[in-house]
Structure 1
Protein backbone atom coordinates (compact mmCIF):
# COMPACT_ATOMS: atom_id res chain seq x y z
CA UNK A 1 0.00 0.00 0.00
CA UNK A 2 1.05 3.58 -0.60
CA UNK A 3 1.46 4.49 3.06
CA UNK A 4 4.27 1.97 3.58
CA UNK A 5 2.68 0.15 6.54
CA UNK A 6 3.58 -3.46 7.03
CA UNK A 7 0.99 -5.91 5.77
CA UNK A 8 -1.83 -6.53 8.13
CA UNK A 9 -0.66 -9.53 10.13
CA UNK A 10 -2.91 -12.39 11.03
CA UNK A 11 -4.37 -11.90 14.48
CA UNK A 12 -5.05 -14.67 16.94
CA UNK A 13 -7.94 -13.39 19.02
CA UNK A 14 -10.23 -15.35 21.26
CA UNK A 15 -13.31 -15.75 19.10
CA UNK A 16 -16.42 -17.92 19.31
CA UNK A 17 -14.57 -21.04 18.11
CA UNK A 18 -11.79 -20.50 20.65
CA UNK A 19 -14.41 -19.96 23.34
CA UNK A 20 -16.20 -23.20 22.49
CA UNK A 21 -12.96 -25.18 22.56
CA UNK A 22 -11.93 -23.58 25.84
CA UNK A 23 -15.30 -24.32 27.41
CA UNK A 24 -14.87 -27.97 26.56
CA UNK A 25 -11.48 -27.98 28.26
CA UNK A 26 -11.97 -25.86 31.36
CA UNK A 27 -15.65 -25.07 31.84
CA UNK A 28 -17.73 -22.02 31.02
CA UNK A 29 -16.93 -20.01 34.17
CA UNK A 30 -13.16 -20.11 33.71
CA UNK A 31 -13.54 -19.22 30.04
CA UNK A 32 -15.66 -16.14 30.81
CA UNK A 33 -12.90 -14.80 33.08
CA UNK A 34 -10.37 -15.22 30.24
CA UNK A 35 -12.58 -13.31 27.77
CA UNK A 36 -13.12 -10.19 29.87
CA UNK A 37 -9.94 -8.34 28.90
CA UNK A 38 -10.02 -8.86 25.09
CA UNK A 39 -6.22 -8.94 24.94
CA UNK A 40 -4.75 -9.94 21.58
CA UNK A 41 -2.30 -12.76 21.07
CA UNK A 42 -0.11 -12.33 17.99
CA UNK A 43 3.23 -13.95 17.20
CA UNK A 44 3.23 -15.52 20.67
CA UNK A 45 2.90 -12.13 22.41
CA UNK A 46 -0.13 -10.94 24.39
CA UNK A 47 -1.04 -7.25 24.50
CA UNK A 48 -4.05 -5.00 25.04
CA UNK A 49 -4.33 -3.60 21.54
CA UNK A 50 -2.77 -1.92 18.56
CA UNK A 51 -2.32 1.86 18.61
CA UNK A 52 -1.72 3.50 15.23
CA UNK A 53 -0.36 7.06 15.17
CA UNK A 54 -1.21 8.43 11.73
CA UNK A 55 -0.04 11.76 10.27
CA UNK A 56 -1.90 12.93 7.15
CA UNK A 57 -0.24 15.63 5.05
CA UNK A 58 -1.68 17.83 2.25
CA UNK A 59 -5.21 16.78 3.09
CA UNK A 60 -8.61 18.11 2.11
CA UNK A 61 -11.91 18.61 3.99
CA UNK A 62 -10.31 18.75 7.42
CA UNK A 63 -12.31 21.85 8.38
CA UNK A 64 -15.65 20.07 7.89
CA UNK A 65 -16.72 18.39 11.16
CA UNK A 66 -19.63 16.50 9.59
CA UNK A 67 -17.36 15.02 6.91
CA UNK A 68 -14.73 14.15 9.51
CA UNK A 69 -17.22 12.41 11.80
CA UNK A 70 -18.77 10.44 8.93
CA UNK A 71 -15.29 9.45 7.69
CA UNK A 72 -14.06 8.28 11.10
CA UNK A 73 -17.25 6.30 11.63
CA UNK A 74 -16.73 4.67 8.22
CA UNK A 75 -13.15 3.85 9.22
CA UNK A 76 -14.36 2.25 12.46
CA UNK A 77 -16.93 0.12 10.64
CA UNK A 78 -14.34 -1.04 8.10
CA UNK A 79 -12.11 -2.11 10.97
CA UNK A 80 -14.91 -4.17 12.49
CA UNK A 81 -15.26 -1.91 15.53
CA UNK A 82 -18.43 -1.02 17.45
CA UNK A 83 -19.22 2.71 17.68
CA UNK A 84 -20.52 3.87 21.06
CA UNK A 85 -20.45 7.68 20.77
CA UNK A 86 -18.73 10.65 19.19
CA UNK A 87 -17.83 14.20 20.11
CA UNK A 88 -16.33 16.94 17.91
CA UNK A 89 -15.30 20.54 18.44
CA UNK A 90 -14.45 23.25 15.88
CA UNK A 91 -11.87 25.89 16.79
CA UNK A 92 -11.99 29.48 15.55
CA UNK A 93 -10.67 31.29 13.66
CA UNK A 94 -8.92 28.55 11.63
CA UNK A 95 -11.73 25.93 11.74
CA UNK A 96 -9.50 23.19 13.08
CA UNK A 97 -11.40 20.19 14.37
CA UNK A 98 -10.72 17.91 17.33
CA UNK A 99 -12.88 14.89 17.84
CA UNK A 100 -13.19 11.35 19.01
CA UNK A 101 -15.20 8.29 18.11
CA UNK A 102 -15.52 6.13 21.24
CA UNK A 103 -15.55 2.42 20.42
CA UNK A 104 -16.21 -0.72 22.39
CA UNK A 105 -12.70 -1.62 21.20
CA UNK A 106 -11.26 1.79 22.30
CA UNK A 107 -11.22 4.94 20.12
CA UNK A 108 -10.34 6.89 16.98
CA UNK A 109 -9.38 10.53 17.50
CA UNK A 110 -8.41 13.36 15.17
CA UNK A 111 -6.92 16.84 15.47
CA UNK A 112 -6.73 19.00 12.34
CA UNK A 113 -4.75 22.06 11.30
CA UNK A 114 -6.44 23.38 8.12
CA UNK A 115 -3.94 26.23 7.86
CA UNK A 116 -1.19 23.60 7.46
CA UNK A 117 -3.23 20.97 5.59
CA UNK A 118 -2.33 18.49 8.33
CA UNK A 119 -4.32 16.02 10.42
CA UNK A 120 -3.15 13.84 13.31
CA UNK A 121 -5.18 10.65 13.81
CA UNK A 122 -4.94 8.08 16.60
CA UNK A 123 -6.51 4.65 16.17
CA UNK A 124 -6.44 2.36 19.20
CA UNK A 125 -8.27 -0.96 19.03
CA UNK A 126 -8.30 -4.16 21.02
CA UNK A 127 -10.07 -7.49 20.52
CA UNK A 128 -10.89 -8.70 17.03
CA UNK A 129 -10.93 -5.22 15.40
CA UNK A 130 -8.43 -4.63 12.59
CA UNK A 131 -7.09 -1.07 13.03
CA UNK A 132 -5.00 -1.11 9.83
CA UNK A 133 -8.24 -1.22 7.83
CA UNK A 134 -8.92 2.38 8.88
CA UNK A 135 -6.09 3.67 6.71
CA UNK A 136 -7.83 3.09 3.39
CA UNK A 137 -10.91 4.94 4.68
CA UNK A 138 -8.73 7.88 5.77
CA UNK A 139 -7.06 7.97 2.35
CA UNK A 140 -10.42 8.07 0.59
CA UNK A 141 -11.86 10.71 2.93
CA UNK A 142 -8.96 13.17 3.08
CA UNK A 143 -6.80 12.45 -0.02
CA UNK A 144 -3.43 12.92 1.70
CA UNK A 145 -0.32 13.22 -0.46
CA UNK A 146 1.70 11.60 2.34
CA UNK A 147 0.92 9.39 5.33
CA UNK A 148 3.18 8.84 8.33
CA UNK A 149 2.41 5.71 10.33
CA UNK A 150 3.75 4.45 13.65
CA UNK A 151 2.39 1.33 15.33
CA UNK A 152 2.56 0.57 19.05
CA UNK A 153 1.44 -2.53 20.92
CA UNK A 154 -0.22 -1.30 24.11
CA UNK A 155 -0.27 -3.29 27.33
CA UNK A 156 2.47 -5.75 26.53
CA UNK A 157 2.32 -8.43 29.19
CA UNK A 158 5.98 -9.49 28.92
Structure 2
Protein backbone atom coordinates (compact mmCIF):
# COMPACT_ATOMS: atom_id res chain seq x y z
CA UNK A 1 0.00 0.00 0.00
CA UNK A 2 3.00 2.33 0.24
CA UNK A 3 3.26 4.87 -2.52
CA UNK A 4 4.07 8.38 -3.65
CA UNK A 5 1.36 10.97 -4.30
CA UNK A 6 2.36 14.06 -6.30
CA UNK A 7 0.19 17.06 -7.10
CA UNK A 8 0.83 20.27 -8.99
CA UNK A 9 -1.13 23.48 -9.46
CA UNK A 10 -0.13 25.28 -12.65
CA UNK A 11 -0.82 28.93 -13.45
CA UNK A 12 -0.01 31.13 -16.41
CA UNK A 13 -0.74 28.44 -19.00
CA UNK A 14 -1.54 29.72 -22.49
CA UNK A 15 -5.23 28.85 -23.00
CA UNK A 16 -4.60 28.47 -26.74
CA UNK A 17 -2.43 25.37 -26.16
CA UNK A 18 -4.24 22.36 -27.63
CA UNK A 19 -3.74 20.33 -24.42
CA UNK A 20 -5.98 22.84 -22.62
CA UNK A 21 -9.12 22.23 -24.72
CA UNK A 22 -8.65 19.25 -27.06
CA UNK A 23 -9.38 15.98 -25.27
CA UNK A 24 -7.80 13.86 -28.00
CA UNK A 25 -4.55 15.84 -27.92
CA UNK A 26 -4.42 15.75 -24.12
CA UNK A 27 -5.20 12.03 -24.01
CA UNK A 28 -2.48 11.21 -26.52
CA UNK A 29 0.07 13.36 -24.70
CA UNK A 30 -0.80 11.72 -21.36
CA UNK A 31 -0.50 8.21 -22.83
CA UNK A 32 2.90 9.09 -24.27
CA UNK A 33 4.08 10.55 -20.94
CA UNK A 34 2.91 7.44 -19.04
CA UNK A 35 4.76 5.13 -21.41
CA UNK A 36 7.91 7.27 -21.39
CA UNK A 37 7.93 7.22 -17.57
CA UNK A 38 7.88 3.41 -17.63
CA UNK A 39 4.39 3.07 -16.18
CA UNK A 40 1.52 0.99 -17.55
CA UNK A 41 -1.71 2.70 -18.63
CA UNK A 42 -4.70 0.36 -18.51
CA UNK A 43 -7.63 2.73 -19.28
CA UNK A 44 -8.38 6.41 -19.82
CA UNK A 45 -11.24 8.88 -19.95
CA UNK A 46 -11.02 12.49 -21.14
CA UNK A 47 -14.13 14.66 -20.74
CA UNK A 48 -14.36 18.15 -22.26
CA UNK A 49 -16.65 20.71 -20.67
CA UNK A 50 -18.21 23.78 -22.20
CA UNK A 51 -19.68 24.93 -25.45
CA UNK A 52 -19.53 23.17 -28.79
CA UNK A 53 -16.75 25.54 -29.93
CA UNK A 54 -14.27 23.34 -28.04
CA UNK A 55 -13.07 26.07 -25.70
CA UNK A 56 -14.06 24.35 -22.45
CA UNK A 57 -11.66 22.69 -20.07
CA UNK A 58 -10.96 18.99 -19.70
CA UNK A 59 -11.09 16.56 -16.81
CA UNK A 60 -9.09 13.49 -17.66
CA UNK A 61 -7.75 10.41 -15.99
CA UNK A 62 -5.36 7.69 -17.05
CA UNK A 63 -5.78 4.62 -14.90
CA UNK A 64 -2.41 3.02 -14.29
CA UNK A 65 -1.64 -0.52 -13.26
CA UNK A 66 0.34 1.33 -10.57
CA UNK A 67 -2.57 3.77 -9.73
CA UNK A 68 -3.49 6.97 -11.66
CA UNK A 69 -2.80 10.26 -13.43
CA UNK A 70 -5.52 12.94 -13.24
CA UNK A 71 -5.56 16.24 -15.16
CA UNK A 72 -7.99 19.16 -14.87
CA UNK A 73 -7.68 22.18 -17.20
CA UNK A 74 -9.28 25.61 -16.85
CA UNK A 75 -8.44 27.50 -20.06
CA UNK A 76 -10.49 30.50 -18.93
CA UNK A 77 -8.12 30.82 -15.95
CA UNK A 78 -4.92 29.63 -17.65
CA UNK A 79 -4.75 27.00 -14.90
CA UNK A 80 -4.25 23.25 -14.57
CA UNK A 81 -4.24 20.84 -11.64
CA UNK A 82 -2.38 17.53 -11.81
CA UNK A 83 -2.40 14.44 -9.64
CA UNK A 84 -0.04 11.45 -9.95
CA UNK A 85 -0.22 8.56 -7.52
CA UNK A 86 1.78 5.35 -7.77
CA UNK A 87 1.76 2.35 -5.48
CA UNK A 88 5.04 0.70 -4.67
CA UNK A 89 3.78 -2.86 -4.41
CA UNK A 90 6.45 -5.12 -5.84
CA UNK A 91 8.92 -2.29 -6.42
CA UNK A 92 9.60 1.41 -5.86
CA UNK A 93 7.85 3.42 -8.60
CA UNK A 94 8.71 6.80 -7.08
CA UNK A 95 11.22 7.82 -9.78
CA UNK A 96 8.68 6.88 -12.46
CA UNK A 97 6.05 9.05 -10.77
CA UNK A 98 8.49 11.97 -10.69
CA UNK A 99 9.27 11.51 -14.41
CA UNK A 100 5.57 11.37 -15.26
CA UNK A 101 4.77 14.52 -13.31
CA UNK A 102 7.69 16.42 -14.87
CA UNK A 103 6.61 15.39 -18.37
CA UNK A 104 3.00 16.41 -17.85
CA UNK A 105 3.97 19.76 -16.32
CA UNK A 106 6.20 20.37 -19.35
CA UNK A 107 3.21 19.78 -21.69
CA UNK A 108 1.57 22.93 -20.34
CA UNK A 109 4.63 25.23 -20.11
CA UNK A 110 3.23 27.10 -17.07
CA UNK A 111 4.52 30.46 -15.87
CA UNK A 112 4.45 29.02 -12.35
CA UNK A 113 3.97 25.63 -10.73
CA UNK A 114 3.25 24.80 -7.11
CA UNK A 115 4.12 21.17 -6.33
CA UNK A 116 3.27 18.94 -3.40
CA UNK A 117 4.32 15.39 -2.47
CA UNK A 118 3.15 12.87 0.11
CA UNK A 119 4.39 9.43 0.99
CA UNK A 120 1.33 7.30 1.62
CA UNK A 121 0.72 4.07 3.49
Q: TM-score, normalised by structure 1?
A: 0.63
**Total equivalences in the alignment:** 109
Which structure's relative contact order is higher, taking Cα pairs within 8 Å and 6+ residues apart? 2
Task: Output the CA distance in 2 between the equivalents of 1:139 and 1:99.
Answer: 15
SS at match of 1:116: coil
The correspondence for 1:112, drawn from 55, 73, 79, is 73
Q: Unaligned 5+ residue runs, structure 1?
A: 1-38, 40-47
Poorly superposed stretches of 4+, deviation over 2 Å: none
RMSD over aligned CA atoms reads 1.5
Taking the TM superposition and a 5 Å limit, the aligned residue runs for 1:21-100 are 39=1, 48-59=2-13, 60-61=17-18, 62-93=20-51, 94-100=55-61
Q: Unaligned 5+ residue runs, structure 2?
A: none
Q: TM-score, normalised by structure 2?
A: 0.81
- Greater strand content: 2
Deviations 1:28-76 (A, max 9, x none): xxxxxxxxxxx5xxxxxxxx11010111212233111112112221221
Which structure would you say has the larger Rg? 1
**Does structure 1 residue 147 correspond to structure 2 residue 108?**
no
